[in-house]
Structure 1
Amino acid sequence: MSLWATLNRTVFKRTSTFALAVASGTFFFERTFDVASQAIFEHINKGKLWKDIKHKYE
C-alpha cells in the first residue's frame, strides 16, 4: 500500500482528524521556526546582545 493511501485513510478521511493534524502541525512548525529564527538572530548579533555585554556594566 502506498504512503498516500495510508495517509488518506488515517488522516484525511475524517474532518476531526484532519483538523487535529493541521493544528498540531501548525504548533510544531511555529515552535521550530521560532527557535531557528532566534538562534540565527543571536548568531548574527553575537557580542552585541545584553547577555554578552552584561558583565561590563554590573
Structure 2
Amino acid sequence: MLEKLYLVRYDVRGHGRSGKPATPEGYDSALYAADFAAVCEAFGLNMPVFVGWSAGGR
C-alpha cells in the first residue's frame, strides 16, 4: 500500500500557520476549492481523497 499511497497535508486558508484573510470574502468556499486544486496540481495528485475535520474540514 505504501508504494501507491502517500499523505499530503496542508493548513487550509485561515487555519493553522496559513495566511489569514483580511476580509470575510477571503473565506469564500470557492477559494477553499481553488486552494485544494492548487495543492493537487502542485503534487501531481491523480485521485485525491480529502479528509477533513472541525472548522478546517469546511
TM range (shorter): 0.3 to 0.5
Give the helix-richer structure, 1 or 2: 1
Of structures 1 and 2, the larger Rg is shown by 1
TM-score calculated relative to the size of structure 1? 0.33
TM-score calculated relative to the size of structure 2? 0.33
